[in-house]
Structure 1
Amino acid sequence: MNLELNFKEIFTAFMVLFAVIDIIGNIPIIIDLRKKVGHIQSEKASLIAGVIMILFLFLGKNILSLIGVDVNSFAVAGAFVIFFIALEMILGITLYKDDESSAMTASVFPLAFPLIAGPGSLTTLLSLRAEFAIENIIIAVICNVIVIFIVLKTSAKLEHVLGKNGINIIRKVFGVILLAIAVKLFAHNIKALFEFA
Structure 2
Amino acid sequence: MLELASKAFLTFFVVIDPVGVVPIFVALAGNRPRPEQLRIARKAILVAGGVILFFALVGGPLLERLGISLEALRIAGGILLFRIAVDMVFAHWERETKEEQDEARERSDVSVFPLAIPLIAGPGTLASVLILAGESRRVEFGLWIVLGMAAVVLVMAYFLLRASSRLRFLLGRTGINVITRVLGLLLAALAVQYVADGARAFLES
Structure 1 residues 150-169: Cα deviation after superposition (integer angstroms, max 9, x where no partner): 01111111111111111111
| Pairing 1:134–2:143 present | yes
What residue in structure 1 maps to residue 53 of structure 2? 54
**Cα distance in 1 for residues equivalent to 2:121 and 2:63:** 18
**Cα distance in 2 for residues equivalent to 1:191 and 1:28:** 39
Once structures 1 and 2 are overlaid, which stretch shifts more, 34-43 or 134-143?
34-43
Residue of structure 2 aligned with 1:144, choices 137, 141, 153: 153
Cα distance, 1:121 vs structure 2:
0.6
Change in 2 beyond 3 A, CA 1:195/1:140 = same
Superposed CA RMSD in Å reads 2.2
Cα distance, 1:36 vs structure 2:
6.1
Once structures 1 and 2 are overlaid, which stretch shifts more, 150-159 or 83-92?
83-92
Cα distance, 1:67 vs structure 2:
2.3
TM-score (norm 1): 0.87
**Cα distance in 1 for residues equivalent to 2:2 and 2:169:** 33
Say if 1:14 and 1:141, in contact at 8 Å, map to a contact too.
yes
Residue of structure 1 aligned with 2:119, choices 92, 115, 118: 115
Query: Larger % of helix: which?
Result: 2
Where 1:24 maps in the other structure, the secondary structure is helix
Structure 1 residues 37-96: Cα deviation after superposition (integer angstroms, max 9, x where no partner): 6533222221221111011111112222232212221121000011111111222335x9
**Cα distance in 2 for residues equivalent to 1:78 and 1:97:** 24
* Structure 1 moving runs of 4+ over 4 Å: 96-100
For structure 1, the residue ranges without an aligned partner over 5 or more in a row are 1-5
Structure 1 residues 84-112: Cα deviation after superposition (integer angstroms, max 9, x where no partner): 11111222335x97955332221222211
| Pairing 1:9–2:18 present | no
Where 1:104 maps in the other structure, the secondary structure is coil
For structure 2, the residue ranges without an aligned partner over 5 or more in a row are 137-141
**Cα distance in 2 for residues equivalent to 1:130 and 1:190:** 16
What residue in structure 1 maps to residue 203 of structure 2? 194
**Cα distance in 1 for residues equivalent to 2:42 and 2:158:** 6
Where 2:92 maps in the other structure, the secondary structure is coil
What residue in structure 2 maps to residue 31 of structure 1? 26
**What number of residue pairs does the alignment pair up?**
191
**Cα distance in 2 for residues equivalent to 1:36 and 1:121:** 28
Structure 1 residues 91-139: Cα deviation after superposition (integer angstroms, max 9, x where no partner): 2335x97955332221222211221111111011112234343222111
Say if 1:37 and 1:103, in contact at 8 Å, map to a contact too.
no
Question: What is the identity percentage for the equivalent residue pairs of Structure 1 and Structure 2?
Answer: 32
